[in-house]
Amino acid sequence: MSAKTKPSTVSRARMYEVIRAPLITEKTTNGSEHNQVTFRVASDATKPEIKQAVEGLFKVKVKAVNTVTVKGKAKVFKGRPGLRSDWKKAVVSLVEGHKIDVTTGL
């Protein structure tokens, strides 16, 4: 069996589960100048799933997907120590000429 196997197609419902929300910060806005869009994604999402979801939902061509698991911060809630949940973000690089307007939504 070869190391690269053909990824299975992702259902439309799974696409909406994988892509949670766009991240709009100063840093991600700077990335949009380089054809990059940043999304909050499901923690169990894989790079091929994220690629298929973005291509299927936004009708664009994806060049690369980079993911980061953001660790939750230790915070104090009403005097008690607590921990925010970990979450995953994906920086999606688009092929030249393609673009996603995150302000309009789906």
Using DSSP's 3-state secondary structure scheme, residue 48 falls into helix
Please calculate the CA angle 81-26-91 and round it to the nearest 5 degrees: 85
Q: How far apart, in whole angstroms, are the C-alpha atoms of residue 77 and residue 90?
A: 28
pLDDT at 103: 77
Each residue's pLDDT tens digit, 26-38: 999 999 899 999 9
- At position 56, the amino acid (one-letter code) is G
Contacts of 106 (CB under 8 A, 6+ apart): 57, 58
pLDDT at 4: 59
Which residues in the chain show pLDDT less than 50? none
- Domains for the chain: give ranges and CATH numbers: 12-94 (3.30.70.330)
pLDDT at 5: 58
pLDDT at 2: 52
